[in-house]
Each structure stands twice: as C-alpha cells, then as structure tokens.
Amino acid sequence: MVSKQKIRRKLAQADFTDDVMFELVMSQLEICRKFLKAVLPQLDFTKIKVVDQSHLKTDYLSKAGRLDIHCTDAYGNQFDIELQMTNEHNVAQRAKYYHTLMTNHMLTAGEDYQSLKETYVIFLCPFNPLAIEQQRAVGHYRMISEEGDYLNDGTHTLILNASGDWEGVSDELKGIFQLVLRQPASFGQLGAQIMDKIDEIKYSKTGGRKYMELTGAFWQDAREAGIKIGERKGTDETIIKLIPDLLP
C-alpha cells in the first residue's frame, strides 16, 4: 500500500495536470459548469451534476473503465472531460469507448433508441493527439459520411489542444490551456479560480484528506486491475502510468 508520506509529497507538488487534483477541482460544480460553457457556449449548463461512476464499472482495467469527470445536464445529455497529458496515439479509440460507457445505461428495456441523449467526450491535451498537420486548438468531431452528411447519432468528440493555434479561442479557454501547459493562468477568470481552488485543497485539512483518500482509491483500483489480468508486470505498469510519482 502506498505510504501517506508519498501521497503528501505528491499533494505538495500537484497542479492542474495531476490526475487526482484535476478530478477534485473539476468535480466542483461551478468550475465544471464554467469549463463546459467555455467549451460549448451554445449549450445550457444552468443545471448540471457530477455523476457517480459506480454504475460504469466494467471488467476492463480501472483506468480505462472510469471517466475523469462525468456529468449530465438538465436534459440528460452526458459529458466526459478527460485530461490526457501523454500521447498514447489512441484518442479516437478511447473516445469510442467512453461514448459507449455513457450510452450503455441510458435506455431501459423496450425503450426506443430515439430516446438516447447526446454524449460529449472532451479531451484536454498539451499536444496534438491526431496524426494530422492541422494545429487547431479546438476541434469538434462528429460521425460523417464520405459525402459529407452528418449521421446525427448524438456523439460529439472535442479535442482541446493547448499547443495548437489559439486564434479565436476565448480567454477562459486560454487560461485553461495555460494550466495544461503548466503555466500560471493570466487569461480570463476561470484559470485563476482553479489555481485558488488548488491552493485551498493543498492547504486545508479537508482538501488534503480528500486528496489522500482519492489517491489511495486510485492506487487500489490500479492494483486490482493488474491482478485481474493476472500479470504482475501489468499491475506495476498500470500503477506507474496512473500515479507515476508514488513509486520509488
């Protein structure tokens, strides 16, 4: 089991790009709402809630089977916000899987498929995860035919590339991009609000306790996932990938 000392050291060094800190900060309703509004200004986020992910459990590895931030709006549309700091060249496949996780429990037996709500997977990256030359900071991808017709299946994948061209990007998103690039947020108000929340978590007993509990849970999930696939090497690699600075 990971020691409390290692978790405390991790907490002291944590910023917005730390997996656990990202989840703690982005699960704050007001911050989550402002972020979604900055990404999708045409939608109504007056009422949102962060969703308990216990019903999303699968037999796959825990990290691949859980969403970083999963929330829903007043209309039942679902949103997944993913922090992707390392280019694993699998964003399209991950998006497909995350859309499936969110859609999997939308319908009850006998309910019409037209009752399915929209799903949005939002990747926040410090790099361009697609093998294309285009360096847009914000890309919105939907299912489309070879003739250019949209399928209208309700799935939306958004890639926020902090290293891309910021032309036309709102100040709020620019501030988020700065945090992803591990820079102080000087654009907009949301970035500064997030930095304040990180400080609050770091220097309050309640915040520190939540960070330690969540890190411990991540650690345990990673170990159990490795044990399930029956490979010690797989266990260690999963943990290192999930919480790299907790190991010697």
Task: Name which of 25, 34, 81 is nearest 201 in CA terms.
Answer: 25
Give pLDDT tens digits for 26-61: 999 999 999 999 999 999 999 999 987 655 555 444
pTM confidence score: 0.85
- Highest mean pLDDT (candidates 97-101, 186-190, 234-238): 186-190
pLDDT, average across residues 153-167: 94
Give pLDDT tens digits for 8-17: 888 999 999 9
Check residue 110 and give its pLDDT: 86
- % of the chain residues with pLDDT over 90: 58
- pLDDT tier, 222 (very low <50, low <70, confident <90, very high otherwise): low
Give pLDDT tens digits for 96-127: 999 999 998 788 888 899 999 999 999 999 99
Query: Cβ distance 178 to 126 under 8 Å?
Result: no
Give pLDDT tens digits for 137-159: 999 888 888 888 888 899 999 99
Concatenating the DSSP letter of every residue in 147-175 gives TS-B---SEEEEEEETTSB-TT--HHHHH
Q: How far apart are CA 222 and CA 247, in angstroms?
A: 13
Average pLDDT, the chain: 84
The SS3 of residue 111 is: coil
Residue 213 has pLDDT above 50, yes or no: yes
Largest CA distance in the chain: 58
